[in-house]
Structure 1
């Protein structure tokens, strides 16, 4: 255990700390989660590149863009007021499926043909589900938690395989938080429906 802790870089430690704050704030429906996310993502870019997790590196670039977009969307939305949590529409479900299939295909082709990745399928799967989940989170859709946990369940053994134990522990923590995040957001939606039906 001590050897694992000694091998962990300060970038990984700090990236994990910022990411923990980000997900706890997201669970509480606090739009400032994105500010911590931007800091954590910036550090994760460095770590993932040197671990040769190129799809996850690209995923973190996407996270960075979506975090900026998400913060602005959560704060101002379409009508210059904070956007409410909601469920995905049928059109958004189709877009989500297209994101998963499209990003998996693109990453798999890129990783197998142009990189020295030894885990192209798993790295592509993690990224595909996470890309779709992050898009849903930025739009404040409850199903984001489901897609993100599909990514998490694949990412945990992948990160252990790569020796990124701290990120694996963070991902296991994120998996648990996502379950509670889904339940809390479901309560908010149910409360909104109850008030509407009064």
Structure 2
């Protein structure tokens, strides 16, 4: 039964640029777009959508041997639970309810440097410990996405420029793998992130 379901999900829904897009990729695509729209509007529904779409993308990327991205999706699923809790019950250091706010360049410096340091280390690990065909391309959006997700969960405006960088790198990664529907998704995320950045700045 499970094998039949898995085969059905991996069956081509359509073909783009000579590469088939599976029903699994299509479903993950739709939920991910819905999630970002909810993030832009600061809606709690974003986090359950993130949880489900992350699990779907985990299955897709694992099947495609993008192990860094696959592992990242499991982290995203866990962070979706944490993010939901943060948006519902989280507080600032002063005990105030979380609102859209700025972290500032000084506050962003340390986590950004940690992210840049983790990138080659993860790439090296993927290069030697797995059969990933693109270990360093796989590693960068993996570690940078963790930074973006933390900033988003804490309602820091700076999450949006981080996502712009992550999405641009992801477009290249998924294009190299032939996941064209996901390329369209992440390319679309770039202007959506710009819109989210503007909307949060107004808030």
Normalising by structure 2, report the TM-score.
0.85
Q: Which residue of 1 aligns with 2:175?
A: 160
Residue 170 (str. 1) matches residue 182 (str. 2): no
Residue 69 (str. 1) matches residue 77 (str. 2): no
Unaligned runs of at least 5 residues, structure 2: 1-13
Residue 185 (str. 1) matches residue 200 (str. 2): yes
Q: Which residue of 2 aligns with 1:191?
A: none
**Deviates most, 119-128 or 140-149:** 119-128
Normalising by structure 1, report the TM-score.
0.87
Q: 1:126 aligns with which of 127, 131, 141?
A: 141
Shift of 1:81: 7.4
Q: Could you tell me how far apart the structure 1 residues matched to 2:147 and 2:107 are?
A: 10
Q: Which residue of 2 aligns with 1:105?
A: 120
Please give the root-mean-square deviation of Cα atoms over the aligned residues, in Å.
2.1
More strand by share: 2
Q: Could you tell me how far apart the structure 2 residues matched to 1:24 and 1:59 are?
A: 21
Q: Could you tell me how far apart the structure 1 residues matched to 2:160 and 2:110 are?
A: 16
Q: Could you tell me how far apart the structure 2 residues matched to 1:41 and 1:95 are?
A: 27
- Runs of 4+ that moved beyond 2 A: 2-6, 78-82, 89-92
Unaligned runs of at least 5 residues, structure 1: 189-198
Q: Which residue of 2 aligns with 1:36?
A: 49
Shift of 1:50: 1.0
More helix by share: 1
